[in-house]
Amino acid sequence: MKEFLGLATSCKVLSVPWVPSGRRRRRRMIWLMPSVAFKRLLLVVVALGLAGCQTSLSSSEKAEGKKSAAELEFSADSMLRVADNLVKARDYASALRFYQDVLERDPKNVQALLGQGEIFLMLDAPGEAAERFQAVTSIAPKEGRGDAGLARALTQMNEPERALPYFAAAVEKGAVSAKFYNHYGIALDLMGKHQDAQVQYGRGLDLAPGDVSLLNNLGLSLALSEDYPAAVRLLSDVVSAMPDTIQARQNLALAYAFSGDMTTALRLATFPENAAATEQAQTYLKNITALPKDMRGKAIFSGLSAVADALPKTSQPQVASEPLPPPAPAQPAIVDVNTAPAKTQALTSAPAVAAPPPTSPPPAPAKEDVLKQPASATPQTGGYMVQLGAYQDEAVARAGWDKFKALAPDLLGARQPVTSSAGNMTRLGAAAASWKDASTLCDALKKAGVDCIVRQLYGNPNE
């Protein structure tokens, strides 16, 4: 009976042993039958035990429910992992939103600030990037990635003098990578310190041997320092590795042009199947060789508009040149480029060598293609765009426009979509007639829950 009570009050199912039929069964049953009073008492005890078990189970369920609810609450680590994966998938708009969600709850989250900063650098928004990296240097002074990111952003903003202390701080804190040294070299080249720049490019190549961006910029730096034989050898190797890349051939043409061999330079800048690229590249060569030698580096790395006052009156560009093209987007936002095989490093990290629109004949249209436009139509070459996203190719961008239009039909329904190529990426946005128009649209889109960036459209042959 003790065993029976124990099993009952422990909420275990009773297992009555099998008893053979006949007289023995009857004797067993007689032994099991208690008195009526005791039977009633037993039922009360069992009922109380079961009630206690029920109360215990309810408490467990409630505790488990509270635990599950807690697990569903905000988790910065989980959201950061999602954002990092979105960066790998090149869905930068969504990644920015996840990073922003983290920052709204924790404005001092270093990982989210770094993630946003890297995305803004890739999207050619160095001012936005600089704000994030500056915040990191204040919140976490020992975090070298804040210094490294701020240095790169300032370089893209054509402020190399301001960038140098942050480059030095990042080196001291060990926050270096091939990408970092590439930008360090560019900053020094912008200041005319070509030999120092070549040292930094070399350090980057130690981390990422064969990196095309570093080789390209090192070759240009050698040409700027008038070491023409070394520049020609190095840039010839880049052209051999990438014979169909217009920018690689144009950079080699620059080395020949600086050395005085304009005939070879113009031949290299001739693209039989692309008359527009030929005209722009050759016009660019003629303009840049007309500059004083101490201004050529700034023209190469920041664009001809940065030295517009020194250009002949008939050659001055009509629109501002774009900042340095973004790094290859294949890497996660905060992962150094030297973690990837060298062959994956795209030439797009190298400086742009854009030709200004010639006075006569009219300039060839820039590569700003209006979506769903007939191939023969003239692409848009000026104005502004409200960038909504960046995609791996044109087809994905087309699908992206439909998605954004569905999110904000009142704001985007009457707008014309426009794309802009930037290295391996295709930017997608809505066309705007002016900066004010673009800013107003972007503000309205943000209120509707759609992230955006205002960007000027440029007539850049490397777009």
Can you give the pTM of this predicted structure?
0.56
Backbone torsions φ then ψ of 50, nearest 5 degrees = -65, -40
HEC assignment per residue over 399-438: HHHHHHHHHCHHHHCCCCEEEEEECCEEEEEEEECCHHHH
The pLDDT, as a whole number, for residue 206 is 94
Give the CATH number of domain 384-456.
3.30.70.1070
Ordered by start, the domain boundaries in the chain are: 2-72, 78-349, 384-456
Q: Could you list the pLDDT tens digit for every one of the 463 residues in the chain?
A: 444 444 444 444 444 454 455 544 444 444 444 555 555 555 555 555 555 554 444 555 555 555 444 444 668 889 999 999 999 988 888 999 999 999 999 999 999 999 999 999 998 899 999 999 999 999 999 999 999 999 999 999 999 999 999 999 999 999 999 999 999 999 999 999 999 999 999 999 999 998 999 999 999 999 999 999 999 999 999 888 887 788 889 899 999 999 999 999 999 989 888 888 889 888 888 988 889 888 888 888 887 777 777 666 554 443 333 333 333 333 222 223 333 333 223 333 333 333 333 334 434 434 344 333 333 333 333 467 888 877 766 777 777 888 888 888 899 988 989 887 765 567 788 988 887 788 889 888 888 888 888 776 654 333 3
Instruction: Name residues whose C-beta falls within 8 Å of residue 350's C-beta, 6 or more positions apart in sequence.
Output: 212, 213, 216, 217, 220, 247, 251, 325
Superfamily classification of domain 78-349: Tetratricopeptide repeat domain (1.25.40.10)
Backbone torsions φ then ψ of 428, nearest 5 degrees = -120, 135
The pLDDT, as a whole number, for residue 229 is 92
- Pair 146, 137: CB distance under 8 Å: yes
The pLDDT, as a whole number, for residue 333 is 29
SS3 95: helix
Instruction: Give the whole-angstrom CA distance, residue 365 versus residue 319.
Output: 13
Read off the tokens for 432. Answer: 């705007």
The pLDDT, as a whole number, for residue 63 is 52
- Pair 120, 157: CB distance under 8 Å: no
Q: Which helix (H) or strand (E) holds 151?
A: helix 144-156
SS3 428: strand
Within 10 A of 158 (CB to CB), how many other CB atoms are there? Answer: 18
The pLDDT, as a whole number, for residue 43 is 55
